[in-house]
Amino acid sequence: MRSDFDEELEGRLVRYAAIDTQSDAASPDQPSTAIQLDLSRLLVEELEQMGAQDVVLTDYGVVLATVPGTAPGPVMGWCAHVDTAPQYNATGVKPVVHRRYNGGDISFADAPDLKLNPEVSPHLAGKEGEDIITASGLTLLGGDDKAGVAIAMTAARHLLENPDIPHGPIRLAFTPDEEIGRGVDPRLPADLGADFAYTFDGGKPGEIEYETFSADGAKVTVTGVSAHPGFARGKMVNALHLASKIVMTLPHVTMTPETTEGTEGFLHVVEMQGGSSEAVITLILRDFERAGLEAKGALLRQVCDAVAATEPRARITCEITPQYRNMRYWLEKDMTPVDLVRAAVADVGLTPVSVPIRGGTDGSRLTEMGVPCPNVFTGMQEIHGPLEWISVQDMALATRVAIALARRAVT
């Protein structure tokens, strides 16, 4: 059975997902891609049309707006990100709504050999009769995190049109570049002006996340010695050979994304580019504890030093850059925002579930910068690939949680 929010959520997600907003870690710009602003400008128009106040698109690419309070209470933030992941094709997204899912295979018009079913994605089991949105098979859907955008927009519209619902001021923030770890500009906490906030960027209904990876990025640069290959004996030092040695010396059967789970961290080689004279290896380091993250950085440096020692004519540098830290370090000092959303989840008939995120959100950085910001489910599944899907009814549950949060904050 479709709820009061289903039609609006479906329309918003289909509309938003069709807009290409892929971010680009290699770009120095802010936002990293100008196409993200296509959705941001649309959100500004829609917010103004629904009667939100203080609507602005900042010069660092964040859409901010206010739903005025109808009762005394703290200022709450609702956040979601407009960008989609760079790991998979996100150009030309064609959202498809599979109405009243029958429990079997979901096929894809543009990729006939691709199938989605409960064996592939267990959360599909029990979704019979619900409305499932996917892409057409050649792209990701972008529900990560356009589902969160649709949920926050729908909940905001509902509160604006129903001033009898008691709630404090709510600040909306739609950020760019979350997928590349650059979603929270240093100016955002002050501009948001929230006492606490929530990102709508999670998975299964009922999930509330307040523990994330701590994360660093790493860049290893290998500079060799260039020489004409026909006359290179005793002269050339091939940077690609040394870079390959570094990659092969790093752990393979442990401490990689494909060999870890739960609270285990990893070292992940993301990319290697270059040529025989210079090569660059890009990595990400993840661990739930600071000590574990530091140990992985130390291991990477140790491997680089060991390979450098085999060829003194080469130069190998290892630059490690902090990205975000486990939000638990701050939230565990005051669990009030977590307790509030747990109560809101229970209000809509769900059982609250909290598991550590094997990833991060804008909430990680916001929390570290002084705005406590747990993460709330949206329903998104199989993200960052062609099998990505979401149930409209799961999105409606998240919308109800947002409205329950607004009520809860003033009671």
Supply 275's token pair.
């040529």
> Does residue 241 have a known ligand-binding role?
no
> Does residue 252 have a known ligand-binding role?
no
Catalytic residue among 6, 20, 46, 178: 178
> Does residue 38 have a known ligand-binding role?
no
Among residues 22, 382, 408, 359, the alpha carbon closest in space to that of 199 is found at 359
d(CA 114, CA 278): 39
Q: Evaluate whether 254 touches 264 at the Cβ level (below 8 Å).
A: no
Catalytic residue among 83, 311, 368, 388: 83
Q: What are the start-end ranges of the H helices in 18-52?
A: 36-50
Distances in Å between the alpha carbon of 295 and those of 35, 286, 302, 402? Answer: 38, 10, 10, 39
Asked if 20 is an active-site residue, the reply is: no
d(CA 322, CA 360): 13
* DSSP letter, residue 180: G
Half-sphere exposure of 64 (CA within 13 A, CB side): 20
Asked if 113 is an active-site residue, the reply is: no
> Does residue 211 have a known ligand-binding role?
no
Classify burial at 140, counting beta carbons within 10 Å of its beta carbon; exposed 0-12, middle 13-18, buried 19 or more: buried
Which helix (H) or strand (E) element contains residue 132?
strand 132-134
Q: Evaluate whether 240 touches 275 at the Cβ level (below 8 Å).
A: yes
Q: What are the start-end ranges of the H helices in 162-201?
A: 188-192
| Catalytic positions | 83, 178
Annotated binding site for Zn(2+): 81, 144, 179, 201, 384
Annotated binding site: 81, 144, 179, 201, 384
